């Protein structure tokens, strides 16, 4: 009986090692996927901060002359071209665009002549992904920021 148990244990010896290696590879793969997903999330947060900054700069570009020339109740003169130029200038002042690739203004929308919404797009290339198996150019992410300008007497 003891000889039979020893023979069965000898046949199982290599399989436990293979199972252990497989488990380590699986856990390492999960850690790398979670790290890459976190990197994409952080890139999105950086892009959102850039969009907020660009929207604030665009809202600051409002011409208060329309308020002072009118009857006192007129809204400030916020134009799409002026807002886009101010957002582009703000984006150019940011240090290396937050470490993102190909950051560009996708859309600048002036909602009601006081509110501006700036949408940015960028490319995120998370680390630890098998770039031979998935597109090596990364992923396009988009983020929007909005700001409102107020002119008070």
Query: What are residue 104's phi and psi, to 5 degrees?
Result: -150, 160
Query: What would the pLDDT profile of 25-72 be if each residue is shown by its tens digit?
Result: 999 989 988 888 898 899 999 999 999 999 999 888 776 665 555 544
- Sequence-distant (6+) residues with CB within 8 A of 39 are 124, 126, 127, 128
CB distance 89 to 57 below 8 Å:
yes
Query: What would the pLDDT profile of 94-129 be if each residue is shown by its tens digit?
Result: 886 656 888 899 999 988 777 899 999 998 888 777
- Sequence-distant (6+) residues with CB within 8 A of 90 are 53, 54, 56, 57, 58
pTM of the model: 0.75
């Amino acid at each position: 009986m003891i000889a039979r148990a020893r023979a069965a244990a000898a046949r199982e010896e290599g399989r436990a090692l293979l199972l252990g290696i497989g488990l380590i590879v699986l856990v390492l793969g999960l850690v790398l996927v979670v790290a890459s997903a976190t990197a994409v999330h952080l890139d999105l947060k950086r892009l959102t901060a850039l969009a907020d900054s660009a929207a604030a700069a665009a809202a600051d570009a409002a011409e208060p002359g329309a308020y002072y020339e009118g009857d006192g109740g007129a809204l400030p003169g916020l134009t799409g071209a002026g807002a886009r130029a101010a957002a582009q200038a703000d984006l150019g002042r940011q240090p290396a665009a937050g470490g993102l690739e190909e950051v560009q203004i996708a859309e600048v929308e002036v909602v009601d002549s006081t509110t501006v919404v700036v949408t940015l797009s960028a490319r995120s290339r998370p680390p630890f992904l098998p770039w031979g198996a998935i597109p090596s150019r990364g992923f396009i992410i988009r983020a929007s920021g909005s700001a409102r300008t107020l002119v008070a007497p």
